[in-house]
Structure 1
Amino acid sequence: MEAKLLQSLHLTTWTGSDSMFPIPNNSMGLCTRFDKKRRVNMLKCNLERSIKPVIGHRAAGLKVSCTSQNPPASVLESGTVTTEEDLVLKKKSEEIEPCLSGRCIYLVGMMGSGKTTIGQILSEVLGYSFFDSDKLIEQSVGGTAVADIFKLRGEAFFRHNETEVLHKLSSMRRLVVSTGGGAVVRPINWKYMHKGISVFIDVPLDALAQRLTAVGTASRPLLHHESGDAYTQTLKRLSKLWEDRSEAYGNAHVRVSLERIAAKLGLGDVCCINPTQIAIEALIQIEDYLKK
């Protein structure tokens, strides 16, 4: 059944990308723990091809997180080194996966909030497939970058095709989907995402501005390049986007607040939180939602 659905995923007008970008090791969103020797298969697509997902297989042991915040490591029977946080993540995923009953997980949040990295981690531990909706759109038009799509065709064209992507994906099961930051603005998109479980990754705007400024905003079409201090201008633009989208983010079934995670862990700065900790909190919040 899933194979047939994948074969039907032909997108003839797609156009986006909200993939993760390189940031310093101590920043909250980047972790290479799943990059090396990852058991995935993404086939390049064009207008005539079907789009195949990145497949996340459950590993016998999880790989070491790349931050210094993790407790001392232990070794699983498989010989793979893993941290205590990884073990917690694995245990929690095994508890929750049967309760999901195959429902998809949709990650929403502002640009740069780490949706792709968190989505990859969740898909691996749950044994789900992973999709980045912006990447699917990019690949379908021969690799055209989101910024270029916005420039050449406009935001309305992109949003229309974003909706079609979510429509197609919503007919599938056992997926983790990383959506673009603005996917929440169209009510029709919520109709599709609410077929699964939507998870809002809530990151303070100042932390997002620091991250985006550090890596540059050239690939972010909605962050206009203006004169003046880069951080100040980025924060200003993010604040305007937040005003337009904050109410829409409230439609998510689950909210994962980095400020709440920092408080629980006794951390003074959300930038000290690593992706594993965010993924654990996401599973905890999903579990709470499922119990309602």
Structure 2
Amino acid sequence: MEIIAGTTATTMATQSITPKGLKFDPPFSLLHSQSYAPIRTSLQYSIISRKPRITTRSIADDTTSNTVTKVAAEDPSFAVKKAADISTELKGTSVFLVGMNNAIKTHLGNFLADALRYYYFDSDSLVFEAAGGESAAKAFRESDEKGYQQAETEVLKQLSSMGRLVVCAGNGAVQSSANLALLRHGISLWIDVPPGMVARMDHSGFPESEVLPQLFALYKEMRDGYATADATVSLQKVASQLGYDDLDAVTTEDMTLEVLKEIEKLTRKKKMMEEAARPF
């Protein structure tokens, strides 16, 4: 893991983030086509205008209204206070969340960004926007898998060159050595959510019985890639530690606190290594 000093929000807001030397073939080009505008707009203006927003919700299901987090019951701002202390130690280092895409990971990414006073981005969403939408991105991937992978790499390259970001990274982030190397510019965490839980949150319209086998296969295929992350935060483990029998009882705050603990361990370890390397 390489922790680097991050770029400040002011610097990022004034920097040009237009990628250089892109040579994607038509019809997809992050640099030359109009479809690149959403990435440019998202990375520039969201950073300037973004304001922290702290929310409390059940991460498993937005319709769950009776979930009460143990931490929030004692002190709703505990995670935020802890994040403030850790943010100083991070020195602007970005955080990349890998794992299967689901509402839990998304809610966690947003909440963590708010707590750290960072900026949140979803790498897949940026690729979709640049391609002209999710359906267009899907068609592009089917027609040019290599080109799509290049697009994923380019987005990660842009994001990894910046600081003070929480990025929900798509599966492409752990499918190539180039992308894995880009994740080393920050801290990477595997948000491990059981496929069965992901299937329950699926809104594709397909029956859960059809979605679940596909998700299990995807989990098996991607597990080794996810495991290359600097640390793992398991939903099942968090539930067990808190004494919850139902995974739905785990909240965004619960997961955020576990993530912050892992980040704290990693930053402390790096600090110790740096001190040990200093000459007498």
TM-score interval for Structure 1 and Structure 2 normalised by the shorter chain: 0.7 to 0.9
TM-score, scaled to structure 1: 0.72
Task: Say whether residues 1:68 and 2:66 are aligned partners.
Answer: yes
CA contact 1:120–1:130 (8 Å) conserved in 2: yes
Q: Quick one: distance in 2 between partners of 1:107 and 1:211?
A: 18
Alignment match, 2:174: 184
TM-score, scaled to structure 2: 0.75
Shift of 1:84: 3.8
Give the 3 Å change call, closer, same or farther, for CA 48–257 of structure 1 in structure 2. closer
Q: Quick one: distance in 1 between partners of 2:205 and 2:173?
A: 19
1:138 to 104, 114, 128: 128
CA contact 1:85–1:276 (8 Å) conserved in 2: no
CA contact 2:69–2:249 (8 Å) conserved in 1: no
* Bigger share in helix: 2
Report SS of the residue matched to 1:199.
strand
CA contact 2:111–2:256 (8 Å) conserved in 1: yes
Q: Percent identity?
A: 30
Report SS of the residue matched to 1:291.
helix
Shift of 1:204: 1.0
Task: Say whether residues 1:8 and 2:18 are aligned partners.
Answer: yes
Q: Map 1:32-111 onto structure 2 (within 5 A).
A: 46-48=35-37, 50-53=40-43, 54-55=46-47, 56-58=50-52, 62-65=54-57, 67-70=65-68, 84=74, 86-111=76-101
CA contact 1:57–1:128 (8 Å) conserved in 2: no
CA contact 2:120–2:166 (8 Å) conserved in 1: yes
Letter in 2 for 1:195: H
Q: Quick one: distance in 1 between partners of 2:163 and 2:189?
A: 16
2:252 to 245, 264, 275: 275
Unaligned runs of 5+ in 2: 1-10, 23-27, 59-64, 270-280
CA contact 2:100–2:171 (8 Å) conserved in 1: yes
Q: Quick one: distance in 1 between partners of 2:180 and 2:76?
A: 31
CA-based RMSD: 2.8
Report SS of the residue matched to 2:201.
helix
Give the 3 Å change call, closer, same or farther, for CA 275–102 of structure 1 in structure 2. same
Deviations 1:175-217 (A, max 9, x none): 11111134211121111111100011000111112221xx225
Deviations 1:107-142 (A, max 9, x none): 111121632221111111111111111221222234
Report SS of the residue matched to 2:36.
coil
